[in-house]
Structure 1
Amino acid sequence: MSQLLVPYYEHPTVRPSEWAAIVAAAPRLYGVILNPASGPGEAPDPAFADLAAQLRATDVRLLGYTDTAYGSRPYADIAQDLTRYRDWYGTNGAFFDQVPTEQRDFRHYQRLASAAWATGCGTLVLNHGTTPHPSYARIADVLITFEGPWTTYRDQPPQPWRGTAGTHLGHLVYGVPPEVDFEAEARARGASVHCAVPGVGDHPWGTLPHTLEPVP
């Protein structure tokens, strides 16, 4: 069975009904990614702190978004993000964005994974956006092996996974029409974690999956 991972990058005071729909659906989700300011920000945000408390009450995985800049962002900055997410929002997981695919970068991410575990992260999601070297499966609970538009996803043949059997693969797809049974599409391509949203352009993750859209 595949599960929904929700990256929704909007402020709770701007999109309260959308966040309410996510909180209501939280018990059946794989997890929710929290992203106050392309990271935790420079100070706690009371609106996000309240939202995080609501999500924690549902026992859903709460993942803090951290940009790793394909290995170029300093370790200390990422470790600080992890600590801030834990202290300010009570996250219990991490979502590392912009992760490279090559084996030569693995040792750096192994160190970052240790930092995440040390701050209490029970779930680590690595967003490669394409299929990485199998070594990354040693540290991640989920490897995001596709992020991109529906038109590319639809026309791309399934990418074989040559790593450890049982590894959770995830697909994040935007520009998806409402009539598409995306859960079936993702499952056919080997993804047990997924998200498909209708948004396009520079900020597609400011839209909800069709199944979570609030009732007007």
Structure 2
Amino acid sequence: MNSSLLVPFYAHPADRPEAWTAMVEAAPRLYGVVLNPDDGAGHRADPDFAAVAARLRTAGVRVLGYADTAYGRRPHAEVVTDLLRHRDWYGVDGAFLDQVPTGPESLPHYRRLAASARAAGARTLVLNHGAHPHPSYASLADLLVTFEGPWDSYRGLDLPVADHYCHLVYAAPADARIATSVHCCVPGAGAQPWGTLPHSLEPAG
């Protein structure tokens, strides 16, 4: 199985420049990188994030702008503003919509968001459900995150696998095996595990 990494890396470039360089150097192995300057695009452009986004794009990596949707509770206009700021400030070519519900009752809301994301220039759209969603969501996005959680929970599950499913696993050992071809598996734990890189990308020293 060919595998590639979707990396949600939420560390500032000024704090972890070597880690961002490692991702640029790993470009052929990456499905994409989720850019999250400030729980979204933030209120003003950050030149450090703009610089690393440009480096990733030059290396051929998809750059996905992070936007929280609060399980459908966040107003449509606020999410779209985040996506437009990501596009205008960081030149992202995709979108990563977080906290997406799994039930079919939310499909109309996310169908509209998906259309707005595409209109804002998102060539790649990822929906992070964190659990297995209603199958109709597959028509809205390129990739669905159908698991997000710790290794201790993941390793005992027998989850459906498809080319358009992605699993995000944290607090994981270096030898953890992930079922989906697109995935991310990091050692970090606690409130923000996505401040660590996958074991295979961590720079030496």
Q: Report TM bin, short chain.
A: over 0.9
1:155 is paired with a residue whose SS is coil
Report the residue type matching 1:117 in the other structure: R
2:198 counterpart residue number: 209
1:15 counterpart residue number: 16
2:127 is paired with a residue whose SS is strand
Tell me the TM-score normalized by structure 2: 0.97
How far apart in 2 are the matches of 1:28 and 1:199? Answer: 20
Q: Does 1:84 align with 2:85?
A: yes
Contact 1:130/1:147 (CA < 8 Å) preserved in 2?
yes
Contact 1:143/1:169 (CA < 8 Å) preserved in 2?
yes
Which residues in structure 2 correspond to 1:45-60 (within 5 Å)? 45-60=46-61
1:30 is paired with a residue whose SS is strand
Q: Does 1:195 align with 2:196?
A: no
Report the residue type matching 1:179 in the other structure: D
Contact 2:163/2:181 (CA < 8 Å) preserved in 1?
no
The Cα shift of 1:167 comes to 4.8
Gaps of 5+ in 1: none
2:166 counterpart residue number: 170
Contact 1:144/1:170 (CA < 8 Å) preserved in 2?
yes
Q: Does 1:115 align with 2:110?
A: no
- How many corresponding residue pairs? 204
The Cα shift of 1:26 comes to 1.8
1:74 counterpart residue number: 75
How far apart in 2 are the matches of 1:27 and 1:66? Answer: 25
Distance 1:167 1:214, change over 3 A: closer
Q: CA-to-partner distance for each residue in 1:39-92, whole Å, 9 max, x for gaps?
A: 000000010011111011012111000000000000000110111011000001
- Superposition misfits of 4+ residues, deviation over 6 angstroms: none
Contact 1:141/1:167 (CA < 8 Å) preserved in 2?
no
1:34 counterpart residue number: 35
Percentage of matched positions with identical amino acids: 59
Gaps of 5+ in 2: none
The Cα shift of 1:215 comes to 1.4
Report the residue type matching 2:72 in the other structure: G
2:10 is paired with a residue whose SS is coil
How far apart in 2 are the matches of 1:66 and 1:160? Answer: 26
1:103 counterpart residue number: 104
2:155 is paired with a residue whose SS is helix
Tell me the TM-score normalized by structure 1: 0.92
2:18 is paired with a residue whose SS is helix
